[in-house]
Amino acid sequence: MDRILITGALGQLGIEFIDHFKKLNSFVLATDIKNPKEKLSCEFELANVLDKDKMDSLVKKYNINVIYHLVAILSANGEKDPFISWKLNMNSFQNIAQISIENKIKKIFWPSSIAIFGTESNLNFVSQNPLMNPTTIYGITKLAGEKLMEYYFNKFGLDIRSLRYPGIISTKTVPGGGTTDYVIEMLNAAKKGNDYVCFLSENTELPMMYIDDAINSAVKLMSVSRKDLSISSSYNITGFSITPKQLLNEMSNNGFEFKVHYEPDFRQQIADTWPKTIDDSLSTRDWGWKPKFGLKESLNKTLN
Ligand SMILES: NC(=O)c1ccc[n+]([C@@H]2O[C@H](COP(=O)([O-])OP(=O)(O)OC[C@H]3O[C@@H](n4cnc5c(N)ncnc54)[C@H](O)[C@@H]3O)[C@@H](O)[C@H]2O)c1
């Protein structure tokens, strides 16, 4: 039986992983640096992932054998203080890796991101292994994490699995400070009948994924035999690609009448170094990845 620890469990993805595992009756220990606003459907412990001894003691106390390590400072927030971002993203990764080796953890899921690419990656259609020169501290930490997960697999047999998530669309939590947050902000503004000021220009195309696809893909990747995985770093994955203008059009088709003004800020420069579309055929080949949600289906779920 899996006994799952989730770090950063109260964030956009963590809350949804908790719900998913609850339905399967799996044991889950949720941890975060803040307390939940409402009672969770699983165990919870307040813990800073940078406190290695505390995390180690929780792994032992709850007999954890699988870890979903979700803590990170995301792309836009990361630029506010790159030193803090490096410290949190990398030291937490190192803590979880070391604790996992010492406690013989079976498997770890750790999300990477489309932020690892850069303008030399052929952004119109990014392959699995192009030239990667990330421009944000967030992308740099994700690329470093990818190198470490390969290294730890080769050196210690540590089984870390990873997906390079695009922007994730969900509305249960407030977005965590990424460059694709405009989608969620626009959806929330429209639901409240407010106009919206978009921080990206109307034709900025970026890859996205509905939350159910994000959760199901991670769970699927974690379920397959390691020998089916032809790479030991992170897999390209995508749902669909859209621009703010296309999102607005589709929302208008769904009966939402509101205005969007475009005032690109520093996040535009980040978006300009990110992929427009992604080649995720290796995920399809190795572990059967197939997205269920396009833009229409994602809006059906989030607007109704
Ligand atoms: N959301 C996306 O669109 C997206 C896209 C690509 C990759 N990812 C990756 O998925 C993972 C989860 O992202 P998310 O959107 O859920 O992030 P989020 O910002 O919504 O949640 C992060 C959680 O970590 C917690 N946290 C912060 N510092 C901590 C610390 N020191 N100790 C313990 N907890 C701490 C926060 O309180 C928060 O609840 C991250 O690794 C992120 O890089 C997310």
Residue 74 alpha carbon, nearest atom of ligand 1: 43
Atom nearest to 49 CA in ligand 1:
32
CA dihedral sign, ordered 99, 61, 4, 115: negative
Residue nearest to atom 15 of ligand 1 (CA): 12
Question: Residue 166: what pLDDT?
Answer: 98
Q: Is 135 in the pocket of ligand 1 (CB under 6 A)?
A: no
Question: Domain limits of the chain?
Answer: 3-166+209-236, 167-208+239-303
**104 CA → ligand 1 middle, Å:** 25
The set of catalytic residues is: 138
Maximal C-alpha separation, the chain:
56
Pocket lining: 163 vs ligand 1, CB cutoff 6 Å: no
pLDDT at res. 204 = 98
Q: Is the CB of 55 under 6 A from ligand 1?
A: no
- What is the model's pLDDT at position 269? 97
Does the CA dihedral 140-145-150-156 come out positive or negative? Answer: positive
Residues whose CB is less than 8 angstroms from the CB of residue 1 and which lie 6 or more positions away in sequence, other chains included: 26, 27
**Phi-psi group of 113: left, alpha or beta (phi > 0 → left; psi -120 to 50 → alpha; rest → beta):** beta
Indicate which atom in ligand 1 lies nearest the CA of residue 69.
41
Q: How far apart are CA 277 and CA 205, in angstroms?
A: 8
Is the minimum distance from the CB of 11 to ligand 1 under 6 angstroms?
yes
For atom 29 of ligand 1, the residue with the nearest CA is 33
Give the pLDDT confidence score for residue 106 in this predicted structure.
Answer: 98
Planar angle of CA 86, 157, 10, nearest 5 degrees: 45
- The predicted structure's pLDDT at residue 264: 98
**CATH architecture observed for domain 167-208+239-303:** Alpha-Beta Complex (3.90)
Establish whether residue 71 lines the binding site of ligand 1, counting it when its CB lies within 6 angstroms of any ligand atom. Answer: yes
Which conformational region is residue 270 in: left (phi greater than 0), alpha (psi within -120 to 50 degrees), or beta? Answer: alpha
- Residues 200 and 244: beta-carbon distance below 8 Å: yes
| Alpha carbon of 259 to ligand 1 centroid (Å) | 30
**CB distance 76 to ligand 1 below 6 Å:** no
Q: How far apart are the first and last CA of the chain?
A: 36
pLDDT at 304: 78
Between the CA of 257 and the centroid of ligand 1 the distance, in Å, is: 32
Distance 70 CA to ligand 1 centre (A): 5
Q: Which CATH homologous superfamily contains domain 3-166+209-236?
A: NAD(P)-binding Rossmann-like Domain (3.40.50.720)
pLDDT at residue number 199: 98
| Residue 111 Cβ < 6 Å to ligand 1 | yes
At 187-238, the pLDDT tens digits run 999 999 999 999 999 999 999 999 999 999 999 999 999 999 999 999 999 9
Q: Whose alpha carbon is nearest atom 1 of ligand 1?
A: 168
Q: How far apart are CA 98 and CA 32, in angstroms?
A: 19
In the chain, the amino acid numbered 99 is I
Tell how far the Cα of 50 is from the centroid of ligand 1, in angstroms: 14
Residues of the chain below pLDDT 70: none
Q: Could you tell me the pTM of the whole model?
A: 0.98
